Amino acid sequence: MKLQVAIDRVSIQKAVQIVELIEGKADIIEVGTSLTKEFGVKALSPIIEAANGTAVLGDIKTCDEGKYEFDLGYKQGFKYLTVMGSSSLGTLQVCAQSAAEHNGLMMIDLLECDEARIEAISGFADAIYCLHTSVDSGATADPVAQVRAFRQRFPQIQHIAIAGGIKQHQLAALAQENIDIVIMGSAITKADDITAACMACRKEMK
Amino acid sequence: MKLQVAIDRVSIQKAVQIVELIEGKADIIEVGTSLTKEFGVKALSPIIEAANGTAVLGDIKTCDEGKYEFDLGYKQGFKYLTVMGSSSLGTLQVCAQSAAEHNGLMMIDLLECDEARIEAISGFADAIYCLHTSVDSGATADPVAQVRAFRQRFPQIQHIAIAGGIKQHQLAALAQENIDIVIMGSAITKADDITAACMACRKEMK
């Protein structure tokens, strides 16, 4: 299980400082939607450079114009990009194609997707499907139960990530569930000692 | 029926030039998603200023963190902001609240929303519901038929916009359908004479 740390609602300068504290310690550094929307993908190079080779995910939440947005993001240096599961199948297909062309990875954000929708978009073998509880709806109560129910319902989906208010004490149990990525946010980035918080989370996952 | 002209996939400088050619002629100038994602909301002030009082819509396609993104957009000077109809009801509610607080308007993008979803989110009396055919799925074949079918199915929805490859020759018929906004893109912004193309579209709507 990889640890993805999401950085949100800070200046680019502050984001760079946070990245310097976690590069090489987090497996994936996420440039959150708030940064992509406030400053734009083209302004994010300093953050990607500060990651110093640690993979960076751009949470660009593509809804349409998939090829344009994904090509832009991969060219900017992102390894992972996100597309909404609620997008059209056509959008998901061109995003998958862009990912393949750029040797990048595609994460499908399942925010608000019902079972029929997930079933309809479950055919992207290389994609990571992100179980995502909306910020506007509060935290995930029991992420392990959520993952198990999802696996039972969609056995055809191989790669799973989970996001939405995950806490450090939930990581040890989650690590047993054979998921690809766990996404943590303010539990690490708002800690007094960001590096220590990141390392403590990693330790739980062993 | 208002004419909204969408500007996409150009530099900020080029966008400003286009705005100068259509301000006071278009009713609403749309800063397209490509501009918001490439350059970020905070970099768009020159475009909003160039609009010279013509209302500007930021097609920010909010999916989550509604209050944060909408507050940001209205403070930046946008009159209209977009939220995805596929967002959680909680997200839509906080966006509506932000719109009311900032004396702004909310457009709900119905991209890929099925009937059950539209029914569930149809209660925002002040919002404009945008019938939107995905760029990745091609143009709207018959926008008048699309509007009529929508009105029949959702009589409770008052304010309607339509977008997705609308052509000049379709405007006269659309103007009879009592919708709020028609959204045109490259048919105007890629014309040799952008001002003339904008005026020609307005003329069709009379």
Place of tokens 């998958």: A96
Among the partner-chain residues A37, A42, A87, the one whose CB lies closest to the CB of B69 is A37
| Residues pairing with A58 in the sheet | A31, A81
Q: A84 and B63 in contact by Cβ < 8 A? A: yes
Among the partner-chain residues A67, A84, A135, the one whose CB lies closest to the CB of B65 is A135
Give the model confidence (pLDDT) of A41-53 as tens digits: 999 999 999 999 9
ipTM reported for the complex, 2 dp:
0.95
Q: What is the pTM of this model?
A: 0.97
Q: Which overall architecture, per CATH, does domain B2-205 show?
A: Alpha-Beta Barrel (3.20)
| Chain B residues contacting A via beta carbons under 8 Å | 9, 33-34, 36-43, 60-61, 63-69, 72, 84, 86-88, 90-91, 94, 109, 111-112, 134-137
Instruction: Report residue B23 as tokens.
Output: 């301000």
Mutate which: A9, A36, A63, A98, vs B, most B CBs within 10 A: A63
Q: How large a percentage of chain A has pLDDT more than 70?
A: 97
Distance between CA atoms of A139 and A164, rounded to whole angstroms?
5
Give the model confidence (pLDDT) of B101-146 as tens digits: 999 999 999 999 999 999 999 999 999 999 987 767 666 678 999 9
DSSP state of B23: T
Task: Enumerate the residues of chain B whose CB falls inside 8 A of the CB of residue A137.
Answer: 88, 90
Q: How confident is the model at residue B206 (pLDDT cuts 50, 70, 90)?
A: confident
Give the model confidence (pLDDT) of B151-193 as tens digits: 999 999 999 999 988 999 999 999 999 999 999 999 999 999 9
> Is the model's pLDDT at B79 over the cut of 90?
yes
Instruction: Report residue B105 as tokens.
Output: 């308007």
Strands B55-62 and B80-84, by their bridges, are parallel
Task: Enumerate the residues of chain A whose CB falls inside 8 A of the CB of residue B60.
Answer: 37
Q: How confident is the model at residue A139 (pLDDT cuts 50, 70, 90)?
A: low
Rounded to a whole number of angstroms, the CA Rg of chain A reads 16
Domains of chain A by residue range: 2-205
Q: Report, as an integer, the average pLDDT of A144-154.
A: 95
